[in-house]
Structure 1
Amino acid sequence: MRKRLYEIIEVASPNDKISIIYDKIMILSIIVSIIPIAFKQPPVFFDYTDAFTTALFITDYILRWGTADFKMNKKSVTTFIKYPFTLWAIIDLLSILPTISSLNNGFKLFRVCRAFRVIRVFKLFRYSKEIKILARVIQISKRPLLTVFFLAVGYILISALLIFNIEADSFETFFDAIYWATVSLTTVGYGDIYPVTTAGRIITMISSMFGIAVVALPSGIITAGYVEALTNGRKEENE
């Protein structure tokens, strides 16, 4: 029975309809549980939905804890002791904590737990097949993505050093220069800090043009990896 429960809540086989239904129910519960964050004073209706979704989260947490030996491929008591300290178990626990705030309104400490509702978004990575594929693509493409990241950081630092020395009157601290370089690199341009000299404006134009290329690189890498993963997945299904 425990093995079958593990297959339902964890394996999520494409041919297992019960597992697919379970994942969809959990995804819907996560979405519903996050909606109250959009309200400063959520309607009373959300108190009931929160209680229901939290009950599902608690049940899911207990089931996963009870089948931890299958998850970790180790038949021992220490497996059940270690499981609560794993990343996903911690995320599951933090997803349950916000309900404590509604049961302990007299304690300000527990009211902070309401912000933990945002953590429930990360639970989607476990139940959504598409997000799992995207996470796997990022994992596979981490080397080129890290290369692009360090390229962007290096250019930000160089641009910040140049603008900080050229536009000494416009940038009071080096952090202001880094902030400007980051905003320029992403081509956002908030306009709260900007250069006024000709040399500073030339650096800004170069930074913005370079930013278009840097931002496009990770998008292309992830898109290519995602398309390849989908193609391989369809080939495996057909086989």
Structure 2
Amino acid sequence: MVSIGTVSDPLSLGYDIFSSLALIVNLTAAFMMTYDHLAQTYGAGLTLVLEVTTAFFGVDYVLRLLTAECLYPNVGKGRAMGKYVISGAGLIDLLSFLPAYLPVMFPGGATAFRMFRVARILRLFRINRYYDSLNVISQVLVRKRQQLLSSFFIILVLMMASSLCLYSVEHDAQPEVFRNAFSGIWWSASTLLTIGYGDIYPITTLGKTFGILIAFLGVGMVAIPTGIISAGFVEQYQRIQKLSEYGLEADIHFVQVMLKPKDEWCGQLVRETALPSGLMIAVILRGTETKMPHGDVQLRAGDRLILSGESPRSNENMEMKEIVLHRSHPWVGERIRSLDISRRSFIVLLKRHGRGIVPKGNVTLMEGDRLTMYTIKEGAEEPEELPRPIV
């Protein structure tokens, strides 16, 4: 519910909505406290709201710390807690409540601690998991981070160079303004970034000429990261459209059947089951175990059978494999229907924290998930169409 909740889980969704509402109420109260007439009239109530919501952030942090092993299932509990504490999300969660209590121990730093409370607004980025449009922004920035860093480096170099040059030109004419090489940093930043406050400006002819040149360069420098981000948005939306079209074509559904003691399949081997034409047993879930449906596997009461809609041409032409999604795997955070996989591969089972999940198209994959896939081997005849839902 706390660490790895999904939109399909009402409890997780409800907790995240409550957490977001608590943050909005907290920020609203903090803004209202800055108005003198509101602080005088409703100061006690606003202070109470701030204290209650901040305490909730503290409880939330403790819950996330205790459930960190769900977020990092491949490491031990201690290491998982450590990874959460030093992660970006963990630091934001910590700064959401800790600065409110630090002045009790360090009264002298109350003003500085108050500034860190601004970090709590970053908690709103947790709603990324529910809105694809916000995910697109973060994905574009991540994919284009190298190009963006390069453009920012170019801007920094030009800023330093223009500051040094203008200092050399304007120092004798304006010694009180351009006192040293770094005095022109503010001027170069405002000129290159096309802000132009006008509080520092050249007065000599050579300085003005140089300022015009820097202003023209500033237009181009701002356009570089803008173009990179714009191109990234176009590429990302084209990729999403392509994957969505593929997902509509290749969406796969399965049926889960629970065997009861009176069912005639109980005690039979898989090869002895009389399945209708076009059906096959994809996976057998037995407690926390996942068994491949080999012919000599005996079915038992309590087994959950995942049935797919089409039987493969022959077992020799099929290959089953298990994939573990590590943190850097490109499928982490993607919905099953959006995966860029070959038409020869089919996901038949998703296993998360020891629990089997039917791989529906709207299920979002997470770090640590185990996928069981059927793949048609090269040279085998490809199915004319993918398995259809079983009714």
Moved more, 89-98 or 184-193: 89-98
Instruction: Specify the alignment match of 1:186 in structure 2.
Output: 193
C-alpha contact 1:33 1:53 (8 A) present in aligned 2: yes
1:65-84 pair list within 5 angstroms: 65-74=65-74, 76-79=76-79, 81-83=81-83
Shift of 1:149: 0.8
Distance 1:106 1:222, change over 3 A: closer
Structure 1 residues 186 and 22: alpha-carbon distance in aligned structure 2, compared to 1, 3 A threshold: same
| Alignment partner, residue 55 of structure 1 | 55
Q: Percent identity over the alignment?
A: 29
In 1, distance between residues paired with 2:81 and 2:3?
19
Q: CA deviation at 1:188?
A: 0.9
**Taking structure 1 as reference, are residues 183 and 196 closer, same or farther at Cα in structure 2, changes over 3 Å only?**
same
SS of residue in 2 equivalent to 1:117: helix
Aligned to 1:219: 226
Give secondary structure in 1 for the equivalent of 2:74: coil
1:135 to 104, 117, 138: 138
**Shift in Å, 1:80:** 5.2
Gaps of 5+ in 1: none
Counterparts of 1:106 and 1:145 in 2: how far apart (Å)?
40
**Could you tell me how far 1:182 is from its partner in structure 2?**
1.0
Pairing 1:80-99 to 2, within 5 Å after superposition: 81-83=81-83, 85-87=85-87, 88-99=89-100
* Aligned twin of 2:114: 114
C-alpha displacement at 1:82, in angstroms? 1.6
The Cα shift of 1:47 comes to 1.7
Is residue 25 of structure 2 the alignment partner of residue 32 of structure 1? yes
Asked which structure has the greater CA Rg, the reply is 2
What is the total number of aligned residue pairs between the two structures? 231
Higher mean Cα deviation, 85-94 or 14-23?
14-23
Distance 2:100 2:169 in 1: 53
Q: 1:153 aligns with which of 156, 174, 194?
A: 156
Change (3 A) 1:113 1:226: same
Q: Is the 8 A contact 1:50 1:99 kept in 2?
A: no
Q: Structure 2 counterpart of 1:208, which letter?
A: A
- TM-superposed CA distance for 1:180, in Å, is 0.9
Q: Partners of 2:59 and 2:239 in 1: how far apart? A: 35
Q: TM-score, normalised by structure 1?
A: 0.81
Gaps of 5+ in 2: 249-336, 338-391
Paired letter, 2:189: T
Work out which of the residue numbers 15, 19, 26 in structure 2 matches 1:22.
Answer: 15
- Normalising by structure 2, we get a TM-score of 0.52
Relative distance call for 1:182 and 1:75 in structure 2 (3 A) is closer
Quote how far apart the aligned CAs of 1:183 are. 1.0
Mapped pair 1:175 → 2:158: no
Q: Does 1:166 align with 2:173?
A: no
Which of 3, 17, 21 is residue 10 of structure 1 equivalent to? 3
Residue 208 of structure 2 is aligned with which of 198, 201, 208?
Answer: 201
Q: Which has the higher contact order (CA 8 A, sep 6+)?
A: 1
- CA-CA distance at 1:101 after TM superposition: 6.1
Question: What is the CA–CA distance in structure 1 between the aligned matches of 2:106 and 2:153, rounded to whole Å?
Answer: 47
- Amino acid corresponding to residue 51 of structure 2 in structure 1: A
> 2:75, 2:207 → 1: CA distance?
64
RMSD across aligned positions (CA): 2.9
Instruction: Tell me the alpha carbon deviations over residues 183-207 of structure 1, each in whole angstroms, 9 at most, x when there is no partner.
Output: 1001111111110112211211121
* 1:21, distance to aligned residue in structure 2 (A): 3.5
